Structure 1
Amino acid sequence: MKGTIFCCLVLFFSGVVSVHYIRYGCLENRTTRILKEKAAYLKPNSPWHCQKFCEGYIYFGVEHGDACFCGNKLILPIKRSSNCTKPCEGNHLLMCGGGYTIDVYRRSDKW
């Protein structure tokens, strides 16, 4: 029982969203957006909240602490970033992108 609780805590605090999604990475975003199909400001927001909001999409991403974006494709060009340092509105222990930087997750086909 202690091992199960420890494992759950590690996954929660490490930001792992689900076994069905993998972190794609921190990417530069722009005013035209790289994920365009669905978006909202979520309070609270975290990768888990955004995943639930984007159910059925291939990608979801969190940005600037409170923004959530969904889509089935990433709009090119894609540039990596290291600026995903804004704490999530729903869990300040996790990072939710930054200013025009989006932390993107991709659905895994290996379930």
Structure 2
Amino acid sequence: MYDRTGSPIGRYDHGRIYNRYGSYEGRVDSNRFYDRAGSYLGCTRDDKFYDRSGSYIGYCKDDKYYDKSGTYIGSIRNGCVYNRTGSIIGAFSNIPYNIAGIVFLYGFYLLR
């Protein structure tokens, strides 16, 4: 995963998320997200995102992401992440879109 300038911010490897220095930040297991201590952070189900308390925080439709009120917050396409104004905020390769969404758009892991 890279910031908008192309500098590395972290990586995803076999269900584990690491920061730019290689330190373990958390894991993803069956669309459930956990921090480095193993505490539950949230999940995705049917392109909908939920926080640790089970509260709905947003959804994805056609590679566009929205917050819980339905306001557009950004998009992901062709390995790039864009904010609501269309500016690139990051890039990635070889990771699922939902992982990129929780890092760049929903902030589950503070890698930036």
Q: Above 0.5 in TM-score?
A: no
TM-score using structure 2 length: 0.25
Relative contact order, higher structure (CA 8 A, sep 6+): 1
Which has more helix, going by share of residues?
A: 1
Which has more strand, going by share of residues?
A: 2
TM-score using structure 1 length: 0.25
